Amino acid sequence: MQKVLVIEDEGRIVRLIRDYLEKEGYIVVDARDGEEGLAAFQRQDPELIILDLMLPRLDGFEVAREIRKDSEVPIIMLTAKTEEIDRVTGLEIGADDYVTKPFSLRELAARIKAVLRRTKGDVSKPEVITQGDLTVSTSSHQVKLSGEEVDLTPTEFDLLAVMAANPGRAFTRRNLLEEIGHFPGERVERIIDTHVKNLRKKLSKSEEPEEYIETVHGVGYRFREEL
């Protein structure tokens, strides 16, 4: 059984999530503030974290930053805020998805399944993709650039694997979301821009921001065909 850590200070929400996810077959543990959440993460070693943005003692942004220092465990942000900047900030520091309150428990469970499926490498791709100095291994979930390992979040990895396996193909944001099992919808497609920005930064060997992933104006993105 897969273990989910819920870091949320509202007891009612925790109980609703726990009851629903346990019926879906998950083990659910919870923490009620940021510091307790970090301690639970170290102690429980969960497969996925549901992380509220507004937490006592240590907010969700800080918790995510601390976790990302030494772990790529999938993180789904849970927030009552509707401002796009908060969602973008969460994705920039390594969250894989977000759900805005009030939310559907059924949708939350579907997003958990999708993120876990991507994390386990179940998205159909060749086992090893080599493009220039870049090697992407879907079997080991490992990326190397000029022989050096590159640390990516699960969502960043899946986006890179999809594009690198199809050099020269232009993907819309909706295409990419569907390829990796996300849920296209109003504004949701814009999270691709944040993930691509992060990927470019991590894959950069020069001052050229589009060294590997090119912008196709009016469409989306493509992996450069000639490297």
Contact 168, 129 (CB under 8 A): no
Chain centroid to Cα 163, Å, comes to 16
Contact 20, 62 (CB under 8 A): no
Give the CATH H-level superfamily of domain 3-119: Response regulator (3.40.50.2300)
Cis peptide before 209 (omega within 30 of 0): no
The pLDDT score that the predictor gives to residue 19 is: 96
pLDDT of 71 above 80: yes
Domains 3-119 and 128-223 share a fold: no
Compute CA distances 165 → 9, 45, 52, 223, 226, whole Å: 42, 32, 34, 9, 13
- What does the domain layout of the chain look like in residue ranges? 3-119, 128-223
The number of beta carbons lying within 10 Å of the beta carbon of residue 112 is 23
The pLDDT score that the predictor gives to residue 76 is: 92
Architecture of domain 128-223: Orthogonal Bundle (1.10)
What pLDDT digit, counting tens, does each position of 93-142 carry? 888 888 888 888 988 998 898 788 766 654 444 578 888 889 999 888 89
pLDDT confidence band for 172 (50 / 70 / 90): confident
The number of beta carbons lying within 10 Å of the beta carbon of residue 67 is 22
